[in-house]
Amino acid sequence: MQIMQWPLSKITPYGRNARKIPPQAIDKVAASIQEFGWRQPIVVDAQGVIICGHTRLLAAHKLGYEQAPVHVARPQAWLRTSARPRRRQSHTRPGARLSSAR
């Protein structure tokens, strides 16, 4: 995973993010970043829109940071796993009869 430092001005919150982030959550994440450093980057798409990490961005602003670690997710990486229909798993071999309880 490649992580780069981006200016906060280049990172855009996802406009349709339904989550309302309470100030207490921002305070906790800011305290964690101060104590332990960045343990997880902000994940963005190729246009810089946040996929994961809205609270981290707000905490960085609160701390007065100018940059944050960012990972740019490649579309084919997450499309392959989430958009592909899953095959139904069968726990019996084809043509096998299920025994009924007596």
- What is the domain-level CATH number for residue 32? 3.90.1530.10
On whether residue 101 sits in a domain, the answer given is: no
The model scores a pTM over 0.85 = no
* Closest listed residue to residue 22, CA positions, set 54, 44, 51, 52: 54
In a domain? residue 76: yes
- Sequence letter at residue 8: L
| Residues β-bridged to residue 52 | 43
pLDDT tens digits, residue range 61-98? 999 999 999 999 987 655 555 555 555 555 555 565 65
Q: Is residue 87 part of a domain?
A: no
Residues 6+ apart with CB under 8 A from 13: 49, 50, 54, 57
Helical ranges in 1-102 per DSSP H: 23-36, 54-62, 75-82
Q: Give the total number of structural domains in the chain.
A: 1
> 70: domain range?
4-14+21-82
Yes or no: say if 58 and 26 are a contact pair by the CB < 8 Å rule.
Answer: yes
